[in-house]
Structure 1
């Protein structure tokens, strides 16, 4: 279904939401917002097929915030996400959209953090819960989460949750919610399982599909000898000079090999795989998203649910076993109308997978050749930022403004040397220009934030 451009001001939103959208300079809706928001605001169930990065969080977020009764501290909306990282990102966006509304309380309930803290927060009430299936079930089984007044339910990245085997958990969670509610289901792809779960949990859902913009993702394919795969990868990285690249591997072993190889050559690279502890995983992701690292090497399992904006390049170091996974991988570049580039390396024994992709996706593969395999190390992209970890977090009631103030006013840094600030429960992570790292570490030997002594470490 195609969409016409439409202004947010045309929507029947309460004035705090309209005023906030204006202050955020959100004027024209993205296609997924223009397509889904009128239907969502009308209270109907929706199945929306839209890529990650298309603006879907704001679409269901505005629907959620429009339906909230602020004076009732019961859980009125629930967003179920496949991973903790996505849940955190959704919660951040909801808080941003709600910032001019009074006293809207949003909680994240995910694994990897102590459940006792979450139970304590729930005792004080919440309007909106964003969580992962396993931890939501834990709370329901402990009777620490009450969904009896739920009015709006969202399944975000529903296809990923089905892939990860969460269908039974999701159905169990929804059984504890009122039958009379609005249910929104967002999915990047539309496998058979989506319609099946919709039949179980939705009523007369309207199916809305945003026109795909795959023509904005240029795809190149390279035939490669297995022994030259890593060398060709390095060569292509020095040719395309991307600030932000994800390299996908089919196995954890390949992921580690690529990480080691590129690090030895001097590339700015970091790996994401299943062996990492939650905090290590968190640190890997934020170093990539705040542009302290230029390259993320990941397996599909580790990368599920990632919502990384401004991604210049995706490289399939090994072609995926599943054409649908290939589509999901390359869809991480070229988001929100931007142009993207995806490169796939294919060895002789992988040609059947390439042929299957061509057949199922009805595309002609664009095969490229390489003139020479020389890696010019002077062309390796080096980020200007490095991440500093601080031992202060959300539990200390710290906000980005507090950290920014300490660094600019007290430590004397210029604002343009400070990048993205990410705050978790116990730690904060700040992207700092390389030339200011020593000054920051020196300041925190005695400096404080909000009267609290803070230790700093460069990652």
Structure 2
């Protein structure tokens, strides 16, 4: 259905056209007429289906621009989503003179928000906590509010806002009010809200088959926990996405992964709820502008991220809730673009992946980790494409003269010089994935070994008794003996060290403020070891482990013998294997 078939006003149609939209999405075509009619409505739709316009367009149509009282209240679960919704309504009201829209959320200047409210605002978009603050201060006047929208209602309830939501709704006028609710799921708490605060609500649903974006290729990799970062960087190097979103389940993991990727030279930033609003705004500005090309986030912090150029989503951790998978991958494949979604699983997580496939009615395909040779081939192809473009653009006469002069004054051929330039370009774009000193691809070797072990155990036993071995990280077919488990625990930090590498123990850890980039910085500066030569880093509360080239072990021990971090001795020593 086209927007001009929905009975919209000319200013709205002009704004929609400016935004590049012609046809309404399924949820828009179904919801807009219902909301415009004034009926209470329950809309079931996922992220990425265009639901902001589903309520944004009709509430703008209902607003009286000549009346400066607050007429519409929209509740969103996060600051990011409130800001995003406000931005979209501003674009939709581009040609509507006199309509004022104000986002109110925690972390922003309260005095500025109060001044904005006193100036007269027809539409308020806010988070429950901050709206409650304003209601307590009587800075939000409710007398003229006729429409309340609960956006992402399920997420607001998951975040513990139920009491705030009910308190806000209890303070709204009851006569001729309209309550519109959008939710990805219809759990019992949602139904309780609808029963209590809506009258004869009309249910509008998007068919389940429309919940996922067809332009997204979905893959999964069987990855050991300790190899996740190496696999992530390998995939980023191989696919070279313009912008990437990486999802972790915890704020601590977001911080840790951001630090590790930054230490490896990637333009990565973290985003989670413990960050100040100014820091979150800074991170998002850099991501939208392309100054940061990898954004690592938790599910809650990612609400409201609406960036069209995201080409890949990585589920570093499998989401705890099945429906979160749809929210995550919906961040890519936007505006008709193709996108990719990659998930890392191990052990029992494969069953969660099956649940996701059933829920989404989609197929997530198992993939082999690209080899170093694959990455090299892709980078070579990219360099050759760039060279072809430079040649086609011309202007190389001066460079050709330089090369001719070099050939005439040396024993080098033009082929030698071209090969040297290619090697230099490839070295500058060197692979940051795990590689041992002999140039062997440890990730691929481990994957092959896992497959071989899986074949020996047999698929029947594997499916029946699959469990995630906490110590070795293997998908084990038989539970090891108590003694073997105890020995594995002792050797947790000593097994599976890459050939040519040695594991060192540090007597400081996370409780002392030590971070992965601190380890890289100290070793690089004190022992003069290139950062790319430093292997796996593992931080515990009171100790840490780092893998370094064996041939440099004596230099490292000597150089860092008296090194201190924040006044405490680093305590570097070889991690010997217990017998």
Please report the TM-score for the alignment, with normalisation by the length of structure 1.
Answer: 0.76
Instruction: Give yes or no for the alignment of 1:153 onto 2:148.
Output: yes
Please give the secondary structure, in 1, of the residue aligned with 2:319.
coil
Aligned partner of 1:94 in structure 2 is 89
Aligned partner of 2:15 in structure 1 is 20
Instruction: State the alpha-carbon separation in 2 of the partners of residues 354 and 46 from structure 1.
Output: 33
Q: How does 1:144-223 map onto structure 2 within 5 Å? A: 144-179=139-174, 180-211=176-207, 212-214=210-212, 215-223=214-222
Q: 1:130 to 1:294 in 2, by over 3 A?
A: same
Larger relative CO (CA 8 A, sep 6+): 1 or 2? 1
Q: 1:229 to 1:64 in 2, by over 3 A?
A: same
Please give the secondary structure, in 1, of the residue aligned with 2:148.
strand
Q: CA deviation at 1:316?
A: 0.7
Please give the secondary structure, in 2, of the residue aligned with 1:54.
coil
Deviations along 1:174-209, one digit per CA (max 9) or x if unpaired, are 111112211211223333332222222221111111
Aligned partner of 1:287 in structure 2 is 286
Q: How does 1:119-134 map onto structure 2 within 5 Å? A: 119-134=114-129
Instruction: State the alpha-carbon separation in 2 of the partners of residues 232 and 202 from structure 1.
Output: 49
Instruction: Give yes or no for the alignment of 1:54 onto 2:49.
Output: yes
Q: 1:360 to 1:100 in 2, by over 3 A?
A: closer
Residue of 98, 103, 111 corresponding to 1:103:
98
* Partners of 1:54 and 1:336 within 8 A in 2: no
Q: CA deviation at 1:11?
A: 2.3
Q: CA deviation at 1:48?
A: 1.4
Q: CA deviation at 1:358?
A: 4.7
Q: 1:205 to 1:372 in 2, by over 3 A?
A: same
* Partners of 2:234 and 2:370 within 8 A in 1: no
Q: How does 1:219-368 map onto structure 2 within 5 Å? A: 219-348=218-347, 350-358=349-357, 365-368=364-367
Q: CA deviation at 1:256?
A: 2.5
Instruction: Give yes or no for the alignment of 1:65 onto 2:85.
Output: no
Q: CA deviation at 1:377?
A: 11
* Partners of 2:251 and 2:298 within 8 A in 1: yes
Instruction: State the alpha-carbon separation in 1 of the partners of residues 18 and 263 from structure 2.
Output: 46
* Partners of 1:133 and 1:166 within 8 A in 2: yes
Q: Which moved more, 1:226-235 or 1:18-27?
A: 18-27
Please give the secondary structure, in 2, of the residue aligned with 1:61.
helix
Instruction: State the alpha-carbon separation in 1 of the partners of residues 332 and 86 from structure 2.
Output: 23
Q: 1:371 to 1:278 in 2, by over 3 A?
A: closer
Instruction: State the alpha-carbon separation in 2 of the partners of residues 322 and 235 from structure 1.
Output: 27
Q: 1:346 to 1:41 in 2, by over 3 A?
A: same
Q: CA deviation at 1:363?
A: 5.3
Q: How does 1:407-422 map onto structure 2 within 5 Å? A: none
* Partners of 1:53 and 1:336 within 8 A in 2: no
Richer in helix (by share): 2
Q: CA deviation at 1:223?
A: 0.4
Please give the secondary structure, in 2, of the residue aligned with 1:348.
coil
* Partners of 2:47 and 2:327 within 8 A in 1: no
Q: CA deviation at 1:213?
A: 4.5
Gaps of 5+ in 2: 383-579
Instruction: State the alpha-carbon separation in 2 of the partners of residues 351 and 248 from structure 1.
Output: 17
Please give the secondary structure, in 1, of the residue aligned with 2:88.
helix
Deviations along 1:154-178, one digit per CA (max 9) or x if unpaired, are 1111121111111110111111111
* Partners of 2:78 and 2:300 within 8 A in 1: no
Please give the secondary structure, in 1, of the residue aligned with 2:144.
coil
Instruction: State the alpha-carbon separation in 2 of the partners of residues 318 and 23 from structure 1.
Output: 39
Instruction: State the alpha-carbon separation in 1 of the partners of residues 226 and 372 from structure 2.
Output: 12
* Partners of 2:78 and 2:301 within 8 A in 1: no
Q: CA deviation at 1:63?
A: 0.7
Instruction: State the alpha-carbon separation in 2 of the partners of residues 365 and 96 from structure 1.
Output: 36
Q: CA deviation at 1:342?
A: 1.1
Instruction: State the alpha-carbon separation in 2 of the partners of residues 282 and 376 from structure 1.
Output: 36
Instruction: State the alpha-carbon separation in 2 of the partners of residues 303 and 281 from structure 1.
Output: 11
Please give the secondary structure, in 1, of the residue aligned with 2:64.
coil
Q: 1:23 to 1:325 in 2, by over 3 A?
A: closer
Instruction: State the alpha-carbon separation in 1 of the partners of residues 353 and 20 from structure 2.
Output: 43
Please give the secondary structure, in 1, of the residue aligned with 2:231.
helix
Please give the secondary structure, in 2, of the residue aligned with 1:47.
strand
Q: 1:19 to 1:223 in 2, by over 3 A?
A: closer
Deviations along 1:243-282, one digit per CA (max 9) or x if unpaired, are 1111111223322232222223322211113432210111
Please report the TM-score for the alignment, with normalisation by the length of structure 2.
Answer: 0.61
Q: Which moved more, 1:159-168 or 1:195-204?
A: 195-204
Please give the secondary structure, in 2, of the residue aligned with 1:293.
coil
* Partners of 2:45 and 2:211 within 8 A in 1: no
Q: Number of residue pairs matched? A: 376
